[in-house]
Amino acid sequence: MKAVHATPGGGAAVPGRRVAVTGVGVVAPCGIGKEAFWAGLLGPPPRGERRVHGLDATAVYGPKEARRVDPFTQFAAVAAAEAVQDAGGLDALAGDPDRAGVIIGTGIGGLTTFEEQHTVLMERGARRVSPFLVPMMMGNRAAADVSMRYGFRGPCEATVTACAAGTHSVGNGARLVATGRCDVVLAGSAEAAMTPLSLAGFGNMTALSTSGISRPFDARRDGFVMGEGGAVLVLEDMDRALARHARIYAELAGAASSADAYHITAPSPDGAGAVACMEQALADADVSPGQVTHVNAHGTSTPKNDDAEADAMVKVFGTPGPAVTSIKGITGHSLGAAGSLEAVALALSFERRLIPPTAGWEVGDPEIHLDLVTGAAREWEPGPALSNSFGFGGHNGTLVMVPAPPA
């Protein structure tokens, strides 16, 4: 990352530090934990709802406390616990707690709790509303819980940029490491918005698939399938990670954020904001478009989003361009959690040298000119790769990962 930070003595700025991805944790509809998640990405697409099943958060909270924690926070906390363990455990990450940060974003926050307690208010009166309502529904709860669990006293923040929140959180966390503010950051996002009110709202705005099938970039795509989940990555100073002989999935070499400044829900039809975001992320990573070998696309399965993103990728990379996939055919669209789930998928692609297929795709769209990975996973020699996210409000986010240096 092209970041700079001042020397302790107040001297001239020095080049930014490199950022290593040393741990991942994930809670997804296709699997809890990185192994189940990866197996799910390579499996057949499910039908219908993409809910998380079988999550046991009591190992993190205990049975009593877990009942006082909204599902979106539980998803983040369980993912963070796996990520820390995956990075070697808290002892391996131990250092100055004031230089350890947490950034966990969300699109909506504790909507499950909000809806449940509103029902209580309407049916049973104000005195029966839970005193835990506010701390359960607030969007910064996940970041706060993770910070308290591990004693990380550095920046603790929640990025709320709709469906770009996960990507922005990871990018913002990487910037904290690159600038020298933090040595380690737990970065990711979580969402649990599959509630009656939310589903009705998205359905009535015709964003959801009427067929119940997520088909990114397919000619028959008719909207997204709602999902939920959470994911967290351990971002660490590269020199520190190499010194402790950590397993490094990839280097997070660049990130960018831009705005369409066009419409509250529709993407800019010319893809200008997405183009700018990808180009800025590549410049941040000092990577040229011709060096990019893979893009994990936002690919929601909505007609306008897929068109705009495909056009933007052609403008940046030409045709056929790098290998492209969208994992939303498996995971559905988990709103604020999507970007961090996809960042974990990209990190695992580096480790396993495979690109998951775009599940649900069957019929090519003559207006989309991409090298789309379909049918089965594609073997891949890891090289510079992007992960894109685009959210309501015109929020754009891009991450750039490159292979880690030799140990």
pLDDT of residue 318: 97
pLDDT of residue 15: 58
Buried/exposed 98-111: b ≥16 CB within 10 Å, e otherwise: ebbbbbbbbbbbbb
Calculate mean pLDDT across residues 364-368: 96
pLDDT of residue 219 exceeding 80: yes
Eight-class DSSP state of 359: T
Sequence spans of domains, the chain: 19-402
pLDDT at 247 over 50: yes
pLDDT of residue 7: 37
Q: According to the model, what pLDDT value does residue 6 have?
A: 40
Two structure tokens written together for 188: 């990711």
pLDDT band at 3 (very low <50, low <70, confident <90, very high): low
Residue 196: half-sphere exposure toward Cβ, Cα within 13 Å: 6
Task: Cite the active site residues.
Answer: 163, 298, 333
Residues 336-363 have a mean pLDDT of 98
What is the Cα–Cα distance from 14 to 333, expressed in whole angstroms? 40
Share of the chain above pLDDT 90, in %: 92
Rounded to an integer, the average pLDDT of 283-302 is: 97
228 CB contacts (<8 Å, ≥6 apart)?
29, 50, 51, 52, 71, 72, 75, 191, 192, 193, 194, 332, 334, 337
Which pLDDT does position 143 carry in this prediction?
98
From residue 63, give the alpha-carbon distance in Å to each of 58, 59, 66, 68: 5, 8, 5, 9
Determine the average pLDDT of the residues in 321-344. Answer: 98
377: which residues sit within 8 A by CB, 6+ positions away? Answer: 42, 354, 355, 356, 357
Instruction: Work out the percent of the chain whose per-residue pLDDT is above 70.
Output: 97
User: What CATH class is the domain 19-402?
Assistant: alpha beta
The set of residues, in sequence order, having a beta carbon less than 8 Å from that of 358 and lying 6+ positions away, is: 216, 217, 299, 324, 325, 326, 327, 329, 372, 373, 374
Cβ atoms of 153 and 100 closer than 8 Å? yes
CA-to-CA dists, residue 5 to 11, 14, 96, 177, angstroms: 10, 6, 18, 10
Report CA 39 to chain centroid distance, whole Å.
18
> CA–CA separation, 174 vs 399, rounded Å?
10
pLDDT confidence of residue 53? 94
pTM recorded for the entire structure: 0.95
**Span 35-87, pLDDT tens digits:** 999 999 999 988 778 999 999 999 999 999 999 999 999 999 999 999 999 99
Q: What rounded mean pLDDT belongs to the chain?
A: 94
Residue 287 CA from chain centroid, whole number: 22
Strands 323-325 and 31-32: unpaired
